[in-house]
Amino acid sequence: MLEFLLHLLLSAALLMAVSHIVDGFEVRSFGSALVAALVLGLVNAFLRPIVVFLSLPITIVTFGLFLLVVNALMLMVAGAIVPGLRLRGFGPAFWGALLLSILNLVIGVIF
């Protein structure tokens, strides 16, 4: 349970950091970032596997690069659900998802 809470707090902090780096990616407050991190986790757990399975042919053709688009779409879904998370189009969602993926990888390597 403690590990889950720590991961949630780190994800919320990363969302806040990305909102300061990527134009068009806005998080209203840390509370909104916490809710967004939770919703993004749920979206990635339930919706992402379905989308990845359905887009498998294009993912294979693009050698996996289409998964970056899938990540951006999942971030846009979370942005549509959470009132404090605002994405101004696909571009900010794409760059935000890419940056979040890289930062999560770095955090994963550190811990």
Q: Determine the pLDDT at residue 1.
A: 87
Per-residue pLDDT of 72-95, as tens digits, reads 999 999 999 999 999 999 999 999
C-alpha distance from residue 89 to each of 1, 25, 80 (Å) = 35, 9, 11
- How far is Cα 19 from Cα 89, in angstroms, rounded to an integer? 14
The answer to whether 54 touches 69, Cβ cutoff 8 Å, is no
Q: Determine the pLDDT at residue 108.
A: 86
Per-residue pLDDT of 3-46, as tens digits, reads 899 999 999 999 999 999 999 999 999 999 999 999 999 999 99
pTM score over 0.85:
yes
- How far is Cα 69 from Cα 90, in angstroms, rounded to an integer? 9
- How far is Cα 111 from Cα 29, in angstroms, rounded to an integer? 26
Q: Determine the pLDDT at residue 110.
A: 86
- By the 10 Å C-beta count (0-12 exposed, 13-18 middle, 19+ buried), 46 is classed as exposed
pLDDT band at 111 (very low <50, low <70, confident <90, very high): confident
DSSP 45: H
Q: Determine the pLDDT at residue 73.
A: 97
